[in-house]
């Protein structure tokens, strides 16, 4: 049976790298985003056969419709990646006394609540999948950040959202792994440098990648595929990624 992968949160970094790798590995691939006319998503569809779906992942009805459409048009998902940072403009680097409560709530809704909605729909459908040769019914992967492990100053809203997503993933893993559904939480303690049109790997804040100082989204995608293919006797729940130069 052909694997069906759904990536929620479409952009030029981890999501695009996952879509390319999953498609080249023989999967049917869907990618969901609020905005479908991003050039990277159009390229993924044109060059790699990735299907694009519009979805606000913080809206319960929209997420349900997304999973319905993917199942109807591509097949039941066997690999779901939630790859949404969640931070909204205006919440960056705000002390606890200055942070706008509405922006803090939006960050939680975009990050942790959307993870709940996506995880819920994935679990409902994967429980109905027939087990593969490994006894697995599917894999759910949550991209997370170092804020899931340590709350930085002036980052309270983001730390709340990341900690919440980590707790959700742990609870889901304990519930769903015995049912044959692999759940993994992947905190990435690094700037993620994706390849720009000029060939340089860069990050909007950290600059240009030098000597592997940034996480490479293509390598992150390789890990996600490895997680999906892991034998159930050695399923990893939490894998923390950081470049060799990153300070802990």
Domains defined along the chain, listed by start = 4-234 (3.40.50.720)
Residue with token string 């959307």: 114
This prediction's pTM? 0.94
User: Can you give the pLDDT at residue 202?
Assistant: 65
Residues 71-128 pLDDT 10s: 999 999 999 999 998 888 888 889 999 999 999 999 999 999 999 999 999 999 999 9
Percent of the chain exceeding pLDDT 70 equals 96
Reported as a pLDDT band with limits 50, 70 and 90, residue 210 is confident
Task: For residue 26, count CB atoms less than 10 angstroms from its CB and return exposed for 0-12, middle for 13-18, buried for 19 or more.
Answer: exposed
């Amino acid at each position: 049976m052909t694997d069906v992968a759904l990536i929620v949160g479409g952009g030029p970094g981890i999501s695009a790298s996952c879509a390319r790798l999953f498609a080249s590995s023989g999967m049917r691939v869907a990618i969901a985003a609020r905005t479908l006319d991003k050039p990277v998503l159009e390229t993924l569809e044109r060059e790699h056969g990735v299907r694009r779906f519009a979805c606000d992942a913080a809206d319960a009805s929209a997420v349900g419709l997304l999973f319905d459409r993917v199942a109807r048009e591509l097949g039941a998902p066997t690999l779901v990646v939630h790859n949404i940072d969640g931070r909204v403009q205006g919440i960056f680097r705000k002390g606890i006394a200055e942070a706008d409560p509405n922006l803090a709530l939006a960050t939680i809704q975009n990050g942790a609540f959307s993870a709940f909605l996506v995880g819920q729909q994935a679990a409902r459908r994967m429980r109905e999948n027939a087990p593969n040769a490994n006894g697995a019914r599917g894999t759910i992967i949550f991209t997370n950040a170092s804020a899931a492990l340590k709350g930085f100053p002036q980052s309270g809203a983001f730390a709340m959202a990341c900690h919440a997503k980590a707790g959700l993933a742990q609870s889901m893993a304990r519930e769903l792994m015995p049912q044959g559904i692999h759940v993994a939480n992947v905190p990435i303690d690094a700037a993620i440098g994706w390849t720009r049109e000029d060939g340089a790997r860069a990050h909007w804040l950290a600059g240009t990648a030098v000597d592997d100082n940034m996480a490479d989204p293509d390598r992150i995608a390789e890990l996600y595929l490895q997680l999906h293919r892991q034998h159930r006797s050695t399923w990893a729940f939490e894998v923390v990624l950081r470049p060799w130069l990153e300070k802990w």
